[in-house]
Amino acid sequence: MEKQRRNTKGKQLVMEVFQHEAGALCHADIVQRLAGKVDRVTVYRILQGFFDEGVVHKISAENGKTYYALCHDCSAGQHADNHAHFYCMGCKTVLCLEVTGQPPQLPQGYSAAEASWLISGYCPSCNAV
């Protein structure tokens, strides 16, 4: 019971971190923001749970890190995120791009399980330097 309550509290805290952030976050970012409140293993489990529930989606960035961002219209076990992502090579931040279009047509006989489009470059603040 006690453990269950702690878990719920942790989920709430992780959710708040996402809600206050414009871009996507990696595991380390979240751990850093919740230092002293939620430990890294719990953060990892919560992220995995959120992913399974269709709350967050994963983005694999060029730096080998996995980032997480809130989903809009996903349900448990079924992600429908078909937007592209932007990875800033300067400040290493990842942003969801709300540009949707028709996904590329696959040749006959192929079926898609996952799609991730990543555009790398520099964000406005890095461009300004």
Rule CB under 5 A: which residues touch Zn ion? 57, 69, 71, 74, 79, 81, 88, 90-91, 96, 123, 126
Beta bridge partners of 117: 84
Closest approach, Cβ 69 to Zn ion, in A, equals: 4
Query: Distance (Å, rounded) from C-alpha 27 to C-alpha 56?
Result: 12
Distance CA 120, CA 114 (A): 19
Nearer to Zn ion, 15 or 123 (CB): 123
Q: In sequence order, what are the beta bridge partners of 87?
A: 94, 120
3-state SS of the chain: helix, strand, coil percent to 5? 35, 20, 45
In the complex, minimum distance from the CB of residue 90 to Zn ion, in angstroms, rounded to a whole number = 4
Q: Closest approach of Cβ 68 to Zn ion, in Å?
A: 9
Beta strands in the chain (DSSP E): 25-26, 56-60, 66-70, 84-88, 94-97, 117-121
Closest CB to Zn ion among residues 28, 35: 28
**Closer residue to Zn ion in complex, CB, 38/69:** 69
Nearer to Zn ion, 24 or 43 (CB): 24
Structure tokens that stand for 9 in this block: 């509290």
**Shortest distance, position 16 Cβ to Zn ion, whole Å:** 19
